[in-house]
Amino acid sequence: MPAPTQSPAPVPLVSICIITYQHAAYIRQCVEGMLAQQTGFPCEILIGEDDSSDGTREICQELARAHPERIRLLLQRRADVVYVDGRPRGTHNLVATLAAARGEFVALCEGDDYWTDPEKLATQVAYLRAHPECVGCFHEATVVDGDGRETDPHYFKSQKPKIQEQYDRRDCLVDLMSKYATCSLVYRRDAFRDPPAWYLQRSCDFFFDLVITAHGKLGFIDRCMAAYRRHRNGVWTSKSRLEQILELLSRYRLLLNDPHFRTHYGAETLAQAEMFQRMILLHDDAERAKLEATTDLQRQLAHQSALIAKLQTEREQWLAHFAQQRTSAAPAPPARGAKARSAFFR
- What is the model's pLDDT at position 238? 65
Assess whether 150 and 225 both reside in one domain.
yes
Assess whether 299 and 213 both reside in one domain.
no
pLDDT bucket at 326, cuts 50 / 70 / 90: low
Assess whether 98 and 194 both reside in one domain.
yes
Looking at the structure of the chain, the number of domains it has is 2
Domain boundary among 199, 229, 259: 229
Residue 34 pLDDT greater than 70, yes or no: yes
**AA identity, residue 96:** A
pLDDT bucket at 332, cuts 50 / 70 / 90: very low
Assess whether 245 and 299 both reside in one domain.
yes
**CB-based burial, 276-285: b 16+ in 10 Å, e otherwise:** bbebbeebee
What is the tens place of the pLDDT at every residue in 95-129?
A: 999 999 999 999 999 999 999 999 999 999 999 99
Report yes or no: 218 and 136 within 8 Å, Cβ to Cβ. Answer: yes
pLDDT bucket at 246, cuts 50 / 70 / 90: confident
Query: What's the rounded Cα separation, in Å, for the pair 8 and 63?
Result: 22
Residue 24 lies in a domain: yes
- What is the model's pLDDT at position 304? 53
Residue 297 pLDDT greater than 50, yes or no: yes
Residue 318 pLDDT greater than 70, yes or no: no
Q: Which range (49-63, 134-148, 174-188, 282-296) has the least confidence?
A: 282-296
Q: Which of 108, 116, 96 is nearest to 181 (CA)?
A: 108
Highest mean pLDDT range out of 2-16, 129-143, 151-165, 245-259?
Answer: 129-143
Q: How far is CA 230 from CA 69, 124, 148, 223, in A?
A: 32, 24, 9, 20
Segments forming the whole domain that contains residue 278 = 241-344
Assess whether 154 and 78 both reside in one domain.
yes
Strands 105-110 and 114-115: unpaired
Assess whether 26 and 66 both reside in one domain.
yes
Assess whether 272 and 194 both reside in one domain.
no
Assess whether 71 and 188 both reside in one domain.
yes
Domain of 218: which CATH number?
Answer: 3.90.550.10
Assess whether 85 and 216 both reside in one domain.
yes
**AA identity, residue 287:** E
Classify residue 85 as left (phi > 0), alpha (psi -120 to 50) or beta: left
Residue 6 lies in a domain: no
Residue 177 pLDDT greater than 70, yes or no: yes
- What is the model's pLDDT at position 186? 98
Domain boundary among 229, 250, 267: 229
Mean pLDDT of the chain: 84
Mean pLDDT of 33-42: 97
Assess whether 268 and 300 both reside in one domain.
yes
Residue 199 pLDDT greater than 80, yes or no: yes
Query: What's the rounded Cα separation, in Å, for the pair 74 and 96?
Result: 9
Q: How many residues does the chain have?
A: 346
For the entire predicted model, the pTM comes to 0.81
Assess whether 193 and 247 both reside in one domain.
no
Rounded to the nearest 10°, the torsion over CA 261, 262, 268, 272 is: 90
Burial of 176 (0-12, 13-18, 19+ CB in 10 A): buried
Instruction: Round the CA-based radius of gyration of the chain to a whole number and report it.
Output: 22
